[in-house]
Structure 1
Amino acid sequence: MERAPVILDGAGLSCGDVHAVGYGRAEVAAGPAGRARAAWAAARELTGPVYGRATGVGANKDVAVEHGGHDLLRSHACGAGPLVAPERARAMLAVRLNQLLAGGSGVDPAVLPVLAYAVNAGFTPPVRTYGAIGTGDLTALATTALCLLGELPWRGPEQGSEQGSGPEQGSAHSGAGAAPVFALAPEDALPFISSGAATLADAALACHRLRELLDAALGVAALSFAAAGASAEPLAAAVQEARPHPGQAAVAERLRALHAPGPSARVQDLYGYRAFAQVHGAAVDALDRAERVVETDLNAATENPLVSGSLAWHNGNFHSAPVALALDALRAALVQTAQLGAARLATLMDPAYTGGLPFLADRPGASGAMILEYVAQDALAELRHLAGPVTTGTAVISLGTEDHAGFATQAARQALRCVEPYEIVLACERVAATRALNGPAPDRPLTGDLDAALSALRTP
């Protein structure tokens, strides 16, 4: 099947685009490179102590160096832990390519088609999990640069496989299936790696998948509303107009369309139903903000130094505080709505809400769907753990020269890890609500039911 291309131009890359490219559902094509070429031309004319080009880095910023760029890559190509999944590494390559097209790095634009080839041909660098603190993904991008230089092997199109370094120099298109190579100049070493592309890739993947799940959660909640005979009164437009948060209003409107209520015998339902629009709406609002912040940086020149006009501007655009703060809020909001999902699941075990036997059993004393609560609470505990804020910490490194860290890398990694436990909470509620609507069944293992529910949630 032909994959639709994502045109990278340094301005329009979305979280959805990053997800499509990362998971091989789309190829990339490099758009006009005018800004990248202008920055490269300007960088070649720079004189004086330009950080990373004519000086060392970190605490060595005042030390003049010559031709040390490749050694910088070798010294920084370090990491620990397992290799990141190919889809995450591929997404990182696409993000860095798009950032370079935004201009400002001064990197030779001839590398752009080589990076595009790597993405489309399925080559990814062997990036390790640990090695960044939200002030640039130096280890991941130094590893990438050494792959381009032929000093480290790429992981090949077959997941987890490794290919040789290919031709010594020239176009990556020079042979069918040839590994991408590019003779990155020493002075381009620091500019190439001065980016949070891996962190932003993880953040984009997480935002896209969580968007799908928050949307799917409305359908799951509608099943529970119907199974429990919950009142639609809290969803009324008049209620939303009295407190006009955009996410709340959108959730209530969507759920009104999904839930055709009958008469309710209860004056008020528990919070899992009565406050669903408020809590889930807050999660939608948090996601909207996180997505805006992430997409701003996907298309920004977060370079240090920034080559603009004929000057190099030393700056802190690489710092990830906005992304880290937005992702901290998103993970906290996700826990809130998942907790209400677990609360609705509890009502589905209660005869007062379903009119049947306890735990949706088919006979008195049977366990029915009781175990779903255990599974959901286990997943919810994991989600709560992952929601711990990263932005309350910091780090001081490089002899005190770098005296703060944003830890967006950890925030993005934890946001990605939130996908699985949140899916499980939703799947448990879906299985229980479906059973409540369809009628009780004899006791049997429910693993297959959960797997089917998870599969449905993973299919947009």
Structure 2
Amino acid sequence: MITITGQDLTLEQVNQVVYGKAKVALSAESSQKMNRSRELVEEMVEQGQVVYGITTGFGKFSDVYIQKADVEELQINLIRSHACGVGEPLPEQVSRAMLLLRANALAKGFSGIREEVVQLLLDLINHQVHPVIPSQGSLGASGDLAPLAHMALVLVGEGEVLYQGKQMATEQALEQVGLKPVILKAKEGLALINGTQAMTAVGVINYLQAETLAYQADQIASLTLEGLQGIIDAFDEDVHVARGYKEQVAVAERIRTYLKDSQLITKQGELRVQDAYSLRCIPQVHGASWQVLGYVKEKLEIEINAATDNPLIFTDEGKVISGGNFHGQPIAFAMDFLGIGLAELANISERRVERLVNPQLNDLPPFLSPQPGLQSGAMIMQYCAAALVSENKTLAHPASVDSIPSSANQEDHVSMGTIAARHGYQIIQNARNVLAIELICALQAVEFRGIERMASFTQQAYNNARSIVPSITKDREFAKDIERVASYLESCGHLASID
């Protein structure tokens, strides 16, 4: 059971909830904070105070006063009108993460929402009822309005959800699990949709997948080094300490550990004096991507515990302040940066694939073919990898440098952070496929060199991977191999264990 406070949620806990299906509860302290801020909202409504989003319209309509009798209608109108996302639904794990992150933000007690509304968010998580949320339509400022509105529709019994693998009307799913929708009161609709939880949820999923993939990139590169009889001297600790980047030092150390008892790697001067950059510079390039991951992790750990509502209610001071914490610029930059870092892992992987299959660059059979000429072998797998890295270069163009004014220029600068996060997600999927292709080719290459001469770690990785994809003995539909290996990478974590 994960207890949320709005203060100390971790990425590991998000992982447990999203992938491990851990249940979630609200802390007693958060309940007290939310109740106090709710009392202040109700006082403002009762007194007829002019407060943005409570007794006024939204965006350009912020100067329109709303009568006390209409505040509930204002909130449901807000949710319905803002639920105008388009495109394919976000992955189910993103929807689940959105529920958790929005509940955690509201648990901070700055939003004036009733405890029962936040509890319903947690009930949806605990019953595995996940809103169907279109992936497109957010500008990433004023919050992720459209995606969060689709999430909020479920709380009032509207929209659609995924439950037990089926898409259905929310009303039907709530009835099956014994939950009842809520009627939104003053400010509650705004509190639900004014935040960065769509881009941040995608960002968290991106980070969790990217971290696993970065470890796998180091491991797969080790098999490639054996397949190409790479020179281990380039991974000497002194070389990397001399540069000073701890991430680079760590990658080199992992490679040395993976290959510590290999008979396939060489020393400088034995076969050649130095390797091409795609082999020799693995620590420098992979290490730089690890630096990106460190930056992204830091920003996500802040954002998943951030108050991103507007206005914010400070009960101790009796203040209600309209600000801009909903602006997604920090996450927009982080997601653009993540996309660039993962695109480079794919770029250098594709170059290693080329070295594995190109007979002008190695002494292996051309294209790793069992019968060169009659059998094409891995020739077109390299084409596929090249296409994926080219696509990534387009996706890695930063979304955060763009802005289009909205709401009649009241909201005149936006982050496009959700677009950056979505692009990052696609880059990660492409990068995984590229690394799957490298793994398939590396497995074939080490067979030619002699499996018995592999390092203990890489031989274990070889055996595990061979249970997923067989050796290339003749041409076949390699798309199925790539798909199986990519699925394996997504689910397996490390390719082998270190003794």
TM-score, with length taken from structure 2? 0.85
1:73 matched residue in structure 2: 79
Alpha-carbon distance, 1:323 to partner: 0.7
Alpha-carbon distance, 1:144 to partner: 2.9
1:119 matched residue in structure 2: 125
Note the residue ranges of structure 2 that are not aligned, 5 or more in a row. Answer: 449-470, 494-499
Deviates more, 1:35-44 or 1:71-80: 35-44
Alpha-carbon distance, 1:19 to partner: 4.0
Kindly provide the amino acid, as one letter, of the partner of residue 197 in structure 1: Q
CA contact (8 A) 1:105 1:303 kept: yes
Alpha-carbon distance, 1:166 to partner: 6.7
Per-residue CA deviations over 1:8-54 (Å, capped at 9, x if unaligned) read 22123233433443346322222332332332233333463221011
Pick the aligned partner of 1:147 from 150, 154, 161.
154
Question: What CA distance in whole angstroms lies between the structure 2 residues aligned with 1:120 and 1:77?
Answer: 24
**Structure 1 pair 347–107 and aligned structure 2 pair: CA distance change class (3 A):** same
**Structure 1 pair 411–15 and aligned structure 2 pair: CA distance change class (3 A):** farther
Per-residue CA deviations over 1:333-364 (Å, capped at 9, x if unaligned) read 22222111111111112446653322222344
Question: What CA distance in whole angstroms lies between the structure 1 residues aligned with 2:372 and 2:119?
Answer: 67
Deviates more, 1:111-120 or 1:45-54: 45-54
Matched, 1:262 2:270: no
CA contact (8 A) 1:97 1:115 kept: yes
2:432 matched residue in structure 1: 423
CA contact (8 A) 1:55 1:63 kept: yes
Alpha-carbon distance, 1:84 to partner: 2.6
CA contact (8 A) 1:18 1:201 kept: no
2:6 matched residue in structure 1: 10
Question: What CA distance in whole angstroms lies between the structure 2 residues aligned with 1:277 and 1:101?
Answer: 42
Kindly provide the amino acid, as one letter, of the partner of residue 54 in structure 1: T
1:357 matched residue in structure 2: 365
Question: What CA distance in whole angstroms lies between the structure 2 residues aligned with 1:176 and 1:31?
Answer: 27
1:443 matched residue in structure 2: 474
Alpha-carbon distance, 1:252 to partner: 1.3
Kindly provide the amino acid, as one letter, of the partner of residue 28 in structure 1: V
How many residues were matched structurally? 449
Q: Superposition pairs for residues 215-230 of structure 1, below 5 Å? A: 215-230=215-230
Question: What CA distance in whole angstroms lies between the structure 2 residues aligned with 1:121 and 1:222?
Answer: 43
Pick the aligned partner of 1:302 from 295, 299, 308.
308
Kindly provide the amino acid, as one letter, of the partner of residue 307 in structure 2: A
Question: What CA distance in whole angstroms lies between the structure 1 residues aligned with 2:247 and 2:369?
Answer: 36
Question: What CA distance in whole angstroms lies between the structure 2 residues aligned with 1:6 and 1:186?
Answer: 29
Per-residue CA deviations over 1:379-417 (Å, capped at 9, x if unaligned) read 212222211110111111111111101111101111111
1:210 matched residue in structure 2: 210
CA contact (8 A) 2:41 2:186 kept: no
Alpha-carbon distance, 1:82 to partner: 2.8
Kindly provide the amino acid, as one letter, of the partner of residue 41 in structure 1: E
Alpha-carbon distance, 1:125 to partner: 2.5
CA contact (8 A) 1:211 1:287 kept: yes
Question: What CA distance in whole angstroms lies between the structure 1 residues aligned with 2:480 and 2:64?
Answer: 62
Question: What CA distance in whole angstroms lies between the structure 2 residues aligned with 1:453 and 1:128?
Answer: 29
1:367 matched residue in structure 2: 376
1:56 matched residue in structure 2: 57
Matched, 1:237 2:233: no
CA contact (8 A) 1:155 1:161 kept: yes
Deviates more, 1:214-223 or 1:345-354: 345-354
Give SS of 1:7's match. Answer: strand
Give SS of 1:266's match. Answer: coil
TM-score, with length taken from structure 1? 0.91
Question: What CA distance in whole angstroms lies between the structure 2 residues aligned with 1:339 and 1:108?
Answer: 49
Question: What CA distance in whole angstroms lies between the structure 2 residues aligned with 1:324 and 1:234?
Answer: 36
Deviates more, 1:51-60 or 1:31-40: 31-40
Q: Superposition pairs for residues 400-411 of structure 1, below 5 Å? A: 400-411=409-420
Question: What CA distance in whole angstroms lies between the structure 2 residues aligned with 1:180 and 1:165?
Answer: 9
CA contact (8 A) 2:154 2:170 kept: no
Alpha-carbon distance, 1:60 to partner: 1.3
Note the residue ranges of structure 1 that are not aligned, 5 or more in a row. Answer: none
2:193 matched residue in structure 1: 193
1:292 matched residue in structure 2: 298
Give SS of 1:162's match. Answer: strand
Alpha-carbon distance, 1:79 to partner: 1.8
Matched, 1:281 2:287: yes
CA contact (8 A) 2:349 2:434 kept: yes
2:38 matched residue in structure 1: 40
CA contact (8 A) 2:132 2:162 kept: no
Pick the aligned partner of 2:349 from 336, 341, 353.
341
Matched, 1:399 2:408: yes
Question: What CA distance in whole angstroms lies between the structure 1 residues aligned with 2:439 and 2:14?
Answer: 29
Pick the aligned partner of 1:29 from 5, 25, 30.
25
Question: What CA distance in whole angstroms lies between the structure 1 residues aligned with 2:92 and 2:180?
Answer: 16
**Structure 1 pair 24–162 and aligned structure 2 pair: CA distance change class (3 A):** farther
Deviates more, 1:211-220 or 1:82-91: 82-91
Alpha-carbon distance, 1:300 to partner: 0.8
Give SS of 1:390's match. Answer: coil
Per-residue CA deviations over 1:267-290 (Å, capped at 9, x if unaligned) read 111110111111111111111111
Kindly provide the amino acid, as one letter, of the partner of residue 110 in structure 1: E
Question: What CA distance in whole angstroms lies between the structure 1 residues aligned with 2:236 and 2:36?
Answer: 55
Alpha-carbon distance, 1:315 to partner: 1.0
Alpha-carbon distance, 1:367 to partner: 2.5
Give SS of 1:103's match. Answer: coil
Kindly provide the amino acid, as one letter, of the partner of residue 455 in structure 1: S
Kindly provide the amino acid, as one letter, of the partner of residue 227 in structure 2: A
Question: What CA distance in whole angstroms lies between the structure 2 residues aligned with 1:455 and 1:404?
Answer: 39
Deviates more, 1:323-332 or 1:59-68: 59-68
**Structure 1 pair 143–449 and aligned structure 2 pair: CA distance change class (3 A):** closer
